[in-house]
Copies of this chain bind each other. A is one copy, B any other.
Amino acid sequence: MERKIDLKDIKIKDRFWSERQKLIKDVVIPYQEKILNDEIPDVEKSHALTNFRIAAKMEEGEFYGMVFQDSDAAKWLEGVAYALCVEADSALEARADKVIESIAKAQQPDGYLDTYFIIKEPEHKWQNLQECHELYCAGHMMEAGAAYYEATGKRTLLDVVERLADHIGSLFGPGKRSGIPGHQEIEIGLMRLYHTTGKEKYRELAQYFIDERGKDPDFFKKEAEQRGWKHFDMDPLDTKYNQSFLPVREQETAEGHSVRAVYMYTAMADIAAVTKEKALTEACERLWDNITRKRMYVTGGIGSTVDGEAFTIDYDLPNDSVYAETCAAIGLVFFARRMLNLSVDRKYGDVMERALYNGIISGMQMDGKRFFYVNPLEVNQGVSGKLYGYRHVVVPRPEWYACACCPPNVVRLLMSLGGYGWGEDADTVYSHLYLGGEASLGHGTVTVKSMFPYEGDVTYQIAPREGKETFAFAIRIPAYAKNVRITLNGREMNVDGGMKNGYFYLSRTWETGDKVRLAFDLPVRRIYANTAVRANAGCVCLMRGPFVYCFESIDNGSELSALRIPADAAIRTEVCEEGLLKGMPLLKLDGVRMHGSGELYFEERPNAEAVTLTAVPYFAWGNRSNGDMRVWMLEK
């Protein structure tokens, strides 16, 4: 059983991540706070904090926003909590306390907390689980409450969400009324409360919602008939959309709304790690395999269609009409991290890394001020954002959204990154990522100097808690790592001998000052897709380390589909010397541009013109221009 990690004990000093955490702390969190307070002109109005003050009777006014508007405040608070773990900030904390104060005052005497229904439709509480997100918002508030308590030791919000959880537990459960959320999240929130408070009742309630789902696929249909009113006009018969088509343990494939799906799988894995239940564990493994082996973009993005923001079918991974919502990739990381609790296997860490370095951070503009909801792998002028089937593929990143789920999700994930990079149980310390900095864990403190992701060179210096302690130190070795070398205090280790499920285990009695150095080569890799992925037929994708690369028209001219990567082209890494991408490793290669006759259809084989091609890390695309972009390139 994994030990709980206190985020405050992990300090990230990392070439790649430190500047991103700083950006979020300095720019994104204050920017989002201003948005939540409606202080930024010409941006979608939020009203999220005002709603709480109105519900608390601290202000007069009407509810404004989506039925799940409360979750924006909750996610911001959770992000603030993690930011306070990264670096103390008493002014920010004071402002967060004020927000929490209004939330606490908004809570009803029975524990109920949802400003939409408190202000607007109190007579409709709990009648529309399918559409109205009460349980979803509650789940996010629970995560915020637990996080804020852990960060600050302050119990106000934790007490609020415990009362809220108890209120929900008084209504739903075995022998009470039955219910499942239309958008999963309460299960994660309750498990978070369970981990923080140790109270079994929260795990039991989380498990109730998981167990109940799909038992009666007509649940939402009956609910809709009973209440006789609608909020969004969602189809209660579309049971795949919200994964209620089958009991969760019987589900074989990842279906429906991808964020709902991975949030649910996250909770399932979390519960399974506690209960050790075989059927639930196997369902998690099956769904994991289905996603990552058949339904995941090379960027870690998931969700192939805008229609229901959903999974489609195996190997259907269109690059241009893709959805790949930022939140879904984040949810996949949540799921991956919980799977690592179930069993330590690099396949989970590798996917976590894939999503983190590509399809998640692509969601945020490099200045922290604009965000993608949709993360395409191909953008074409005149088509993306404009034509039917592509209207959702908006370029550039918008400033904010009416449904602003993604930006605060990026914040809370990246500010709690330490918890994804490290793991620990009774016997072992795990380095899942290669985060530079310092991790003070139960077994001792590990200080890391990391050149990753730019180079495969990471040095761990270990200081056991009592100066000397016996435990295993396990490092994920990514599947792509070439020529892996590991030294212990300068002495070469037998890497193959120490490998288990993709982790290298070094089991010994550690002494202060012991140094483990991991080195591996990071050549540029040509990646091919399964032949069943028709969108990528004939194409190659370039990767180096965790980075997927892409080609933008600003570097390579228009008509990216006319470019070819020769099969024998040598690919050079060059550090970008100027501009916004300064310091980033770019790829340069001798490519080819095809030229036809100019006619629409013609018989003469197109000519190949030699051209130098430049690829940039995928996450950085769309920062210098709003031109075309392509990840998968035709090989020649």
A residues near B, CB below 8 A? 292-294, 296, 298, 305-308, 312-313, 315-316, 321, 380, 382-383, 387-389, 480, 525-534, 537-538, 541, 559, 561-562, 564, 567, 594-596, 598-606, 634
* Distance, CA A634 to CA B606, complexed state (A): 14
Q: Is the interface of A mostly helix, strand, loop or mixed?
A: loop
Given A561-B531, A594-B531, A596-B531, decide whether A305 and B389 contact each other with a Cβ distance below 8 A.
Answer: yes
The answer to whether A601 and B562 touch across the interface, beta carbons within 8 angstroms, is no
Q: A293: which B residues are within 8 A, CB to CB?
A: 599-600
With A313-B382, A600-B530 given, is the CB distance from A537 to B525 under 8 Å? no
Pairwise interchain contact A388-B305, C-beta atoms closer than 8 A:
yes
Contact A294/B538 with A313-B383, A387-B305, A531-B561 known, Cβ cut-off 8 Å: no
Which residues of chain B come closer than 8 Å to A315, judged between CB atoms? 600
Question: How distant is the Cα of A296 from the Cα of B533 in the complex, in angstroms?
Answer: 27
B313–A387 contact, CB under 8 A? Answer: yes
Bound Cα distance A527, B604 (Å): 8
Would you give 22 A-B contacts (Cβ < 8 Å), ordered by A? A294-B600, A305-B387, A305-B389, A307-B388, A313-B382, A316-B382, A380-B534, A388-B389, A526-B605, A527-B601, A528-B603, A528-B605, A529-B596, A529-B600, A530-B596, A531-B562, A531-B606, A532-B559, A532-B562, A533-B600, A537-B634, A538-B538
- Complex interface: chain B residues within 8 A of A389 (CB): 305, 307, 321, 388-389
| Closest chain B residue, CB of each to CB of A387 | B312
CB < 8 Å: which of B527, B538, B559, B603 contacts A526? Answer: B603
* B residues less than 8 Å from A296 (CB atoms): 600
* Stoichiometry (number of copies): 2
Question: How far apart sit A537 and B605, CA to CA, in the bound complex (Å)?
Answer: 12
Measured CB to CB, the nearest residue on chain B to A382 is B313
Give the Cβ gap from A377 to chain B, nearest Cβ, in Å. Answer: 12
A567 in complex: contacting residue of B537, B564, B605, CB < 8 Å? B605
Q: Nearest chain-B residue to A320 (Cβ)?
A: B534
CB distance from A558 to the nearest CB of B (A): 9
**What's the nearest-Cβ distance from chain B to residue A547, in Å?**
14
- For residue A393, give the distance in angstroms from its CB to the closest CB of chain B: 12
A561 to B388 alpha-carbon distance, docked (Å): 24
Say whether, besides A316-B382, A388-B307, A601 and B531 are in contact (CB < 8 Å).
no
Q: Which 6 A/B pairs are nearest by Cβ-Cβ distance?
A: A307-B388, A531-B562, A534-B561, A537-B561, A389-B389, A538-B634
Determine which of B313, B528, B601, B606 lies in contact with A602 in the assembled complex, contact meaning CB atoms within 8 Å: B528
- In the bound complex, residues from chain B placing their C-beta under 8 Å from that of A532 are 559, 562
Q: Does B387 contact A603, Cβ atoms closer than 8 Å?
A: no
- Chain B residues within an 8 Å CB radius of A308: 388
Known A296-B600, A596-B528; contact A383-B316, beta-carbon cutoff 8 A: yes
Nearest chain B CB to A561's CB is how many angstroms away? 4
Cβ distance A48 to chain B, nearest Cβ, rounded Å: 31
